[in-house]
Amino acid sequence: MQELKKQPTLFQAFIPIIFLIVLLFLNVRFFEDTLGGANQIVLILSASIAGIIATRLGLPWKSVRSSMVKSISSAMPSILILFLIGSLAGTWMISGVVPALIYYGLKILNPTIFLFATVVICSIVSLATGSSWSTVATIGIALLGIGNAMGFHAGVTAGAIISGAYFGDKMSPMSDTTNLAPAMAGTDLFTHIRYMVYTTGPSILISLVIFLIIGLTVKLPEENTSIEGVLAAIDHHFHITPWLFIVPAFLIYIIVRKVAPLPSLLAGTLMGGIFAVIFQPDVIREVAGTDGTYLKDSYIAVMKSMFGSVSVVTDNAQVNELLATRGMAGMLNTIWLILSAMVFGGAMESAGLLVRITQSIIRFVHSAGSLVAATVGSCLFFNVTASDQYISIVVPGRMFAKAYRDQRLKPEVLSRSLEDSGTVTSVLIPWNTCGATQAGVLGVSTWTYMPYCFFNIISPFMSIFMAAFNINIRRYKTGDPEYVEFKEEDRMDY
């Protein structure tokens, strides 16, 4: 990529951001479904503004385009995962796996402790698998169905699911972001995880208390508290048996065994289809809608569940909502949003506009508290503008590493700050890959669940609080060999 002939000013760097914010505000005011296309167009238009600025600074259009393509390429693994999540949701529904999870969950979980238990369950699964996405797409969908059946607001249940899933993801040694943050900061994985306990522990405990209070005080609508009707409808249309739990247990097992996400999700999808054929012949015939042989019906039903919208119709309208999935096709709006967001991020990065804004922040850093606050703000800024949690960890990690050394702060302070903000706030941005994905998978808009993601909201503030009051902030001592080595590297770079 060719060099810029002129460096962008701070005002030029903010022009696409201001344009984006204004139009997104208008979308929220004028459109009921902003994910149906309005936000995508705004992101493309904002990318156009960034591209015009880049060319005005002397960057050839081919370089801008290359940056956009590179940005899209980085999102392709996420897009492939999204497709498979859509298919998995379909086969798990017609196989009876999700209905069985809802059925037994309604029998076991008490509404009073449901939200509390949801956070704990999702935390354990995500910690074991290292993936918030897999947790939300599997056990999360079932828990959302249970919450809906109990009468909880979908946003509250989704907030509990996401809070637990992102806590486990953040603390799991198998998580990609948990490995990426210490790599960017220059510390080791387990030092990073142990140090995160000081901010992550209080954040999840506060979140659990809040969800417990909500469970104890919320008044559930009387028409939705008749759980017996939901249980009867599920039992009438599906063959419910504990054998169905082999499917999610198998998926969790192979993920824990470090099988890559794509083959893991594909295996879970195919296994769901096989169990549908074995255990749910009536559902197979209903979904297929033909009078052919069972082999033909099985093929049609499983294929339909993987690529398109399928539903099982009962006499209970509430259950009908729980037993409807959209397959791969249901993920297309989310994928469209991700592609548009990555085009915008690539255009901004091509002209150095994102870096220009972050560099201006460093000038105001004078203490550990202000440095951590600047890091947290930068990670949030990149989650909003670059629309990708990896960029929100990598770019600030590179830019602030020397500033942390100059403040004599150990690298785990930086790595923790990156995760306390970059990882957990990504899901709160509707056009970020994480926010768009979870909204698409759960069928709950980001704006709806955002206020209830207490863990994700508290974590960055907890990080700033700890640094501002100098609570367990690790520093190099005078003459520390590791610190002296860093200073030598700085001099050589200079």
Mean pLDDT of 295-323: 85
Instruction: Give the confidence band of 318 by pLDDT, cuts at 50, 70, 90.
Output: low
- The pLDDT of residue 226: 59
**Surface-to-core class of residue 144, CB atoms within 10 Å of its CB (0-12 exposed, 13-18 middle, 19+ buried):** buried
> Is 57 a member of any domain?
no
Q: Strand, helix or coil at 444?
A: coil
> Is 200 a member of any domain?
yes
Rounded Cα distance, 305 and 391, in Å: 34
- The pLDDT of residue 481: 64
Task: Give percent helix, percent strand, percent coil of the chain, each to the nearest 5.
Answer: 80, 0, 20
Which residue, 307, 390, 378, is CA-closest to 341? 390
Rounded Cα distance, 348 and 47, in Å: 7
Mean pLDDT of 25-32: 78
114-165 residue pLDDT tens = 999 999 999 988 886 677 887 888 788 888 988 988 889 999 999 999 999 9
DSSP 56-122: HTT--HHHHHHHHHHHHHHHHHHHHHHHHHHHHHHHHHHTTHHHHHHHHHHHH--GGGHHHHHHHHH
Which residue, 481, 343, 471, 303, is CA-closest to 50? 343
Name the H helices within 109-188: 114-129, 132-135, 141-150, 154-171, 176-185
> Is 404 a member of any domain?
yes
151-196 residue pLDDT tens = 899 999 999 999 999 998 898 876 778 887 888 788 888 888 889 9
Between helices 246-256 and 114-129, what is the axis angle to 10°? 50
Rounded Cα distance, 140 and 155, in Å: 13
DSSP H or E stretch at residue 452: none
Domain limits at 161? 68-494
Side-chain-facing half-sphere of 91: CA atoms under 13 Å = 29
Cβ atoms of 280 and 294 closer than 8 Å:
no
Q: Which residues partner with 475 through β-bridges?
A: 409
Side-chain-facing half-sphere of 409: CA atoms under 13 Å = 27
> Is 450 a member of any domain?
yes
- pLDDT, averaged across the chain: 85
> Is 335 a member of any domain?
yes
DSSP H or E stretch at residue 140: none
Q: Which residues partner with 311 through β-bridges?
A: 324
Which residue, 177, 128, 133, is CA-closest to 419? 177
Rounded Cα distance, 64 and 52, in Å: 10
> Is 32 a member of any domain?
no
Which residue matches tokens 């149906």?
A: 36
Rounded Cα distance, 375 and 394, in Å: 12
331-354 residue pLDDT tens = 888 788 778 878 888 888 888 887
- The pLDDT of residue 221: 66
368-405 residue pLDDT tens = 899 999 999 989 988 887 777 877 887 788 778 878 88
Q: Which range among 67-76, 205-214, 464-473 shows the weakest confidence by mean pLDDT?
A: 67-76
- The pLDDT of residue 296: 92
> Is 377 a member of any domain?
yes
Q: Say how many domains are in the chain.
A: 1
DSSP 367-412: SHHHHHHHHHHHHHHHHHHT--HHHHHHHHHHHHHHHHHHTTB-HH
Which residue matches tokens 């402790």?
A: 113
215-255 residue pLDDT tens = 999 887 655 445 777 788 888 889 999 999 999 889 888 87
Rounded Cα distance, 162 and 160, in Å: 6
Is the predicted pLDDT of residue 449 greater than 60, yes or no?
yes
Q: How many CB atoms lie within 10 A of CB 213?
A: 12
Residue 4 DSSP one-character state: P
Instruction: Give the confidence band of 262 by pLDDT, cuts at 50, 70, 90.
Output: confident
Is the predicted pLDDT of residue 35 greater than 70, yes or no?
no
- The pLDDT of residue 233: 84
- The pLDDT of residue 493: 43
Mean pLDDT of 313-324: 76
Residue 278 CA, chain-centre distance (Å), reads 33
> Is 31 a member of any domain?
no
Is the predicted pLDDT of residue 491 greater than 60, yes or no?
no
